[in-house]
């Protein structure tokens, strides 16, 4: 049986056309492997700072504070007796990004007992040719205090309405909200 197979192989290898074809196919295979490795290196390089620049612009803590401040000033100026107002917001920390992950857990059993092997990979999404990490959640900075200066700030009833409005809008306790009269 082996001799029949060896005879057939030897017949094919004696034919120059088949040998040339096999050599060309082998070289093409090697070239494909080499080029796929180069392409894979470029694809796997992910510049998180550049890719997340768009997201950082949207969720930056200063931008977040400014958006909240503007909305709060608009809503408070509509409260009865408040009039013109200015708002300052204090925050703790910065925006935190939580990325989607693939977690692969394996439990290995051996003579010395069992051992857990965990592999974590960040999920990468292709965005029109650019790789970027998939953001699962953005944790906003914690609001630690609010100061409101308004024309009606000397009136206790107006102060109370402003404190209630700010507390409800930002989920901040009354003790962290200060309302003062504007000059």
| Homologous superfamily assigned to 49-96+137-181 | ANL, C-terminal domain (3.30.300.30)
Return the pLDDT at 54: 47
HSE-CB of 17 using CA atoms within 13 angstroms: 0
Note if the pTM is more than 0.75.
no
Report domain extents, the chain. Answer: 2-44, 49-96+137-181, 99-136
Q: How confident is the model at residue 42 (pLDDT cuts 50, 70, 90)?
A: very low
Average pLDDT along the chain: 79
Return the pLDDT at 2: 73
Interval 110-122 mean pLDDT: 72
Share of the chain above pLDDT 70, in %: 81
């Amino acid at each position: 049986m082996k001799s029949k197979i060896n005879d057939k192989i030897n017949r094919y290898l004696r034919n120059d056309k088949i040998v040339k074809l096999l050599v060309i196919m082998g070289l093409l295979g090697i070239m494909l492997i080499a080029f796929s490795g180069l392409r894979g290196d470029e694809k796997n390089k992910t510049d998180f700072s550049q890719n997340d620049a768009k997201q950082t612009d949207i969720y930056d803590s200063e931008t977040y504070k400014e958006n909240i401040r503007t909305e709060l000033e608009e809503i408070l100026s509509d409260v009865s007796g408040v009039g013109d107002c200015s708002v300052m917001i204090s925050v703790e920390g910065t925006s935190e990004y939580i990325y989607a992950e693939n977690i692969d857990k394996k439990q290995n059993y051996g003579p010395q007992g069992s051992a857990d092997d965990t592999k974590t990979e960040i999920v990468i999404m292709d965005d029109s040719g650019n790789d970027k990490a998939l953001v699962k959640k953005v944790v906003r900075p914690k609001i630690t205090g609010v100061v409101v200066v308004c024309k009606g700030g000397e009136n206790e009833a107006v102060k109370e309405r402003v404190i209630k409005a700010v507390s409800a809008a930002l989920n901040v306790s009354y003790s962290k909200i200060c309302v003062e009269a504007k000059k």
